[in-house]
Amino acid sequence: MNTTASPTLPDSHPLASGLTAGSPLVRALRGDRPDTLPVWFMRQAGRSLPEYRELRVGTKMLDACLDPALSSEITLQPVRRHKVDAGIFFSDIVVPIKLAGVGVEIVPGRGPVLDEPIRSASDVAKLRPLDPDALAPIAEGVARTVAELAETPLIGFAGAPFTLAAYLVEGGPSKDHIRARTLMHSDPETWDALLTWAADVTGAFLRAQILAGASAGQLFDSWVGSLSLRDYVDRVAPYSARAMSHIDGLEVPRIHFGVGSGEVLAAMRDVGTDAVGVDWRIPLDEASRRLGGDTVVQGNIDPALLQAPWPVLEAHVRDIVQRGKSAPAHVLNLGHGVNPDTDPSVLTRIVELAHTL
């Protein structure tokens, strides 16, 4: 496990100073039920916003992520527009592996694509640790954002080691992650080395955001749905716990989210987190039951319904909020990310509705 985490947050941190400690989001993530139901959206910053598309003209995705002024402004755009209860820092889960020297770019319409996939022990041996100084643009972007958000908390995030490993081994997006799952079983030593490296790189990325002012952290495991429960518990969960350990002692609420994670929800919770994000595939009260009824839940509006008639969407949101009452607390969110062709006014309307419930 990581042994370098700071024992406490800096005195100027929004949580340490009390600035965001009483916010609806932080209270909910800590198991309280504030008067206002907190709501934010995964991928709320980005392609659904015309102001984002205008700002990004001529700038590559990863270049925008590493420009503190740009990443901060993009993070703030949906908070201004939708009045959500949190910002989530604009970046990408492959940013830390790029900063560690791995050749990767975001290809429009496809996603992260590596120059050279990592598929052997010799490939893994070439990977280098992440220099903490390389995270300076991330820390600066977070600090700029936190200064503007004031009492609204910022969520830091990182990709879970398995999802990063899936990209590294496959060389890009994959439907079934066959190569990654094959490596997991055929060469456990190489798998261990790769996942350990990924856990430390992504953990350092998350830690930098927390220390710079983020009031919560979310670990994304986008491809966890391709795993059996046994494989997750035996061959993935220990590395997610290692990634989380990089923020041990900092006492910020933690969220763990995975797509297609219905069979592994409790195991995801057990890696060391306060709240579990639930995708759209199972009802929120069933997710809470699988979690034992004592875990904060986040979710789980179906992104497809963002383009349904408002009465249909409104009924869906109200149903989710009702089901969320089965958990100690609930953060309203999507069951995955905002689709690029979503009408932004629909998101604003959901926030307005949520704040009346």
Residues taking part in catalysis: 43, 47, 56, 92, 167
Which tokens in the block code for residue 83? 């009045």
C-alpha span between 215 and 253 (Å, rounded): 7
Q: Pairing mode, if any, of strands 275-277 and 87-88?
A: unpaired
With CA atoms as reference, report the closest residue to 15 among 153, 205, 191, 176. Answer: 153
C-alpha span between 312 and 113 (Å, rounded): 37
Residue 122 makes CB contacts below 8 A (sequence gap 6+) with: none
Q: Is 159 exposed, middle or buried (0-12, 13-18, 19+ CB in 10 A)?
A: buried
Report the sign of the C-alpha dihedral through residues 42, 44, 45, 50, in that order: positive
Residue 196 makes CB contacts below 8 A (sequence gap 6+) with: 239, 242
Amino acid of residue 74: I
Which tokens in the block code for residue 353? 């509705």
With CA atoms as reference, report the closest residue to 314 among 356, 268, 265. Answer: 356
Q: Is 249 exposed, middle or buried (0-12, 13-18, 19+ CB in 10 A)?
A: exposed
Query: How far is CA 136 from its chain centroid?
Result: 20
Residue 323 makes CB contacts below 8 A (sequence gap 6+) with: 283, 284, 285, 288
